[in-house]
Every structure is written in structure tokens, then in C-alpha cells.
Amino acid sequence: MSTTATSVPKVPMAKAINMGLRRAMEADPKVLLMGEDIGSLGGVFRVTDGLVKDFGPDRVVDTPLAESGIVGTAIGLAMRGYRPVCEIQFDGFIFPAFDQITTQLAKLTFRSSGQLEMPVVIRVPYGGGIGAVEHHSESPEALFAHTAGLRVVSPSNPVDAFTMIQQAIASPDPVLFFEPKSRYWDKAELDVDVPADTSPEAIATGLHSARVARPGTDVTIAAYGPTVTTALAAAAAAEEEGHSVEVVDLRSISPLDVDTLAASVSRTGRLVVAHEAPVFFGSGAEIAARITERCFYALEAPVLRVGGFHAPYPPANIEEEYLPNFDRILDAVDRVLAY
């Protein structure tokens, strides 16, 4: 008797997040979604498509155009035992809620000596590469990573997105969940029958653990979110030139898994950090400083950074000149190998 292997379907990242949200809502009736046009429209990227039909408008709430009000309401709901998941429609729209996030949401647990938990997730489609207009292609993750009391994570692929959104929702702390919108349509095999581990231990470690996406021996590239795919392409090209490049997908920006990255750099002796946000005072600067401290005697070259320029995000027709593309990352690999 012959057996036929069950194929695992390929799912785009937007759908994977949708499936993760659904799984979390099914598991806990206190989980609810809030945001502009997330109900019958399903969100501008259709990430919440179909959820209002199955869970109703009381749990998939179409809000007014008021980001400060969305986050402020979520804080009140968290105080009453709910687990709200807020969608910020585009990255550049988060700034009206900046005060609520950084002076209230991030600090209430500390202010209450731990008596108040703030299990709030703020989903932020971020980054460029989709030809959007002004205020629709920002990368503000460093602003929130700088704020104590917030967890900041960014998946790079559908499998991580599915698991990490569930772990973020289960977290007792507020989580900024940055979704790379240019990767929403990237597909990967996703076995939804494998449950996400949402135990406290998994949230404390798994949600914030980096992973080696590609092993190598000569150079390490550290990236997260939308830049991981670009870094992998650069590593593949470098291999054709005889260079072995390891790619570390950081996954979490705050807290930062320095141990995994330091172990990689100790093996390779060189590090390139890539992210779409501006290099100036960006997250790459913190990573470079920490690795220099931890791996000073292993480093054979300075840590190099590749990212956006210290300028407002440009018009869509020249955004490819601004983003850390394949060629710029590969050039940094060549330069760090030249030392």
C-alpha cells in the first residue's frame, strides 16, 4: 500500500499574520483587534481579512482616524484584562500616538510596581519598497527600541510572522510588532498544525531569539525584517566570488539577542549590519557598539553599517537609491573583507 505525503501549503506573510491573529482570537476571548478599516475592508493590506465575519464587530473594531485614541483606548482595555491588538495603518501614522506609547503604555507597569500589566500589541506595517507616497514608508523602530518598557520585534518571513504574532499577543508586556510591508507577499511553507509556543519561557526567549538564516565563515551580516531577504541574496552572490557569508536574522530589536550575534562574529571576525532605517543614530549603531565590546579581540575589521541616508524618505521613483539594496550590502561585504 502506497502513502502520499501531505504537502504543506505556501502562504504569504500577510496571510500568515492573519492566521496567527485568528489562532490567538480563538484561544482567548479577551483578544480583540482595533484599527482603521480593519473590519469589512480587512485592512489596507488585507491582513485582517475575514476576521470580522467570524468574530464580529465587537472584537474586530473599526476605529476613527485617531491613532492616539486607538492606543489610549487599548491602554484602558488592557487595564480591564483585555489583550488589544492595534493596527497602525502605515508606519508614518504612528507619530500621533507617540506620546501614548512612550509616556503611558511603556511606563504603566513600572509606575504601578508591576501591579498593572500592559498586554498590548501594536502592529506597524513599515519600510519602503512598495512605491508609496509620503509618510507611508518610514522605519521608526529605533525610536521605540530606545524607550524602556517596550518590546520591539520584526519578522522577516511568513513562518516567523505566524508564530511571533501569537507570542506577542500572549506577552504580558507591550510589543511593537513591525511588519515589513514589502515582504507581505513573500511566500513560504507554513504548517499551521504546529502550535505556536506561547508559554512565558517561549515569549522570553523564542520571541526575542535571533536565528542563523545562512551559515558562513568569512563575514556576518546582521539584519531584520525586510532587509533579511536582501542580505541573503547578497550572501549568495558573495559565495559565487568565493566568500562565505553568514546571515543572522535578529528578529527582535529590543531586547536584542547579543549572544547569538556575538557567537557568529566570533566565528567570522567581521560584521556588516543592514537595516532600512537611517544609519545615523540607528539600531545598527547600538549593535555595532555592543559587538565591539563583546568581540573586540575576535574582530578583524571595523563593524560596517548599511542603511537609509540621513534624510527624509524620498519620493517613490528614487526610493531604490535610498534603500540598502543588494549592491550596497555586497559592497560593504567587499570592504570589510579588504581590511
Q: Which residues are catalytic?
A: 136
Query: Is 51 in contact with 60 (CB distance < 8 Å)?
Result: yes
In this structure, how many other beta carbons lie within 10 angstroms of the beta carbon of residue 121? Answer: 27
3-state secondary structure of 132: coil
In this structure, how many other beta carbons lie within 10 angstroms of the beta carbon of residue 58? Answer: 8
At 177, list the grid cell.
Answer: 510588532
242 CB-near residues (< 8 Å, 6+ apart): none
**Whole-angstrom distance, CA of residue 130 vs CA of residue 151:** 26
Within its chain, how far is the Cα of 123 from the centroid? Answer: 9
Using CA atoms, how far residue 84 sits from 25, 64, 106, 114, 205, in Å, is 10, 16, 15, 19, 22
Q: Residues of 11-45 as b/e, b for ≥16 C-beta within 10 angstroms?
A: bbbbbbbbbbbbbbbeeeebbbbbbbebbeebbbb
